[in-house]
Amino acid sequence: MFKIKEEHKEEYKKHHQNVWPEMLDLITKRGVKNYSIFMTPEGLLFGYYEIPDNFKKESLSAKDEEINTKWQNFMAPYFENIGGKHSEKRSIILEEVFHID
């Protein structure tokens, strides 16, 4: 979970309505499915996505992609609680404890 600085909430949403095509291509290439980012009124973000294969392997290989580095650098100043770092460096794998279709 991340928090967007109050003054950047609307701009952050606009950028995610127009994600760079090269970044979308990378996401697809890496096998990411069902990707969503949710925001509370206070600017708290929760991101969810599925990778059918090895999560750690795919996440690590995406870090080496130039377009990913550019996107992460572009987005880093929007976050309140990550000290200008890339959000992916603060991502954790959550254990699913309940699911129903």
* CATH number of the domain bearing residue 26: 3.30.70.100
Residue 59 in domain: yes
Read off the pTM: 0.74
Residue 86 in domain: yes
Q: Is 86 a catalytic residue?
A: no
Residue 96 in domain: no
Closest CA to 93 of 68, 41, 62, 58: 58
pLDDT above 80 (res 43)? yes
Residue 100 in domain: no
Structural domain containing residue 78: 2-90
Confidence of residue 60 (pLDDT cuts 50, 70, 90): very low
Residue 101 in domain: no
Identity of the highest mean pLDDT range in 40-49, 54-63, 92-101: 40-49
Query: CB under 8 Å to 75, separation ≥6 — which residues?
Result: 12, 15, 86, 87
Of these residues, 8, 15, 16, 99, which one is catalytic? 16
Mean pLDDT of 36-44: 92
pLDDT above 70 (res 75)? yes
